[in-house]
Amino acid sequence: MPRRLNGIGIINIIYLLKLQIKPMAEKISTLQQALDVVEALDLEEQAILVDIISKRLSQQRRNELLKDVAQARRDYQQGNTKSGSVADLMAELDE
């Protein structure tokens, strides 16, 4: 009889782990393929690629920040925010 952990059989756990590992392995494989392509570029092309990726990441971070600010403004307008002192905040965090 298969051993059970909290109602989940070991076989089920192994199956679930395989489901999680396969996509991760595929991502690693895709990343390795990308790295292989980049390494095939000459140094100047690699530097240009790094610059492009850096700028795109910065833009993505700005876009996320803009979304967060817009959400914060909506929350404030709808009265979903609290105000208080730092001491109030610390007291609430300790609760």
Q: What is the pLDDT of residue 54?
A: 92
Same domain, 32 and 54: no
Helix (H, G, I), strand (E, B) or coil at 83: coil
Mean pLDDT of all residues in 5-27: 62
Same domain, 35 and 11: yes
- Is 31 a domain residue? yes
Looking at the 3D structure of the chain, how many domains does it have?
2
- Distance separating alpha carbons of residues 34 and 32, to the nearest angstrom: 5
- Is 54 a domain residue? yes
The model's pLDDT over 37-89, given as tens digits with 9 standing for 90+, comes to: 999 989 999 999 999 999 999 999 999 999 999 999 999 999 998 888 898 88
* 17-to-2, 23, 31, 51 alpha-carbon distances in Å: 17, 11, 21, 37
For residue 3, the enclosing domain spans: 1-40
pTM over 0.75: no
Whether 4 has a pLDDT exceeding 50, the answer reads: no
Same domain, 33 and 48: no
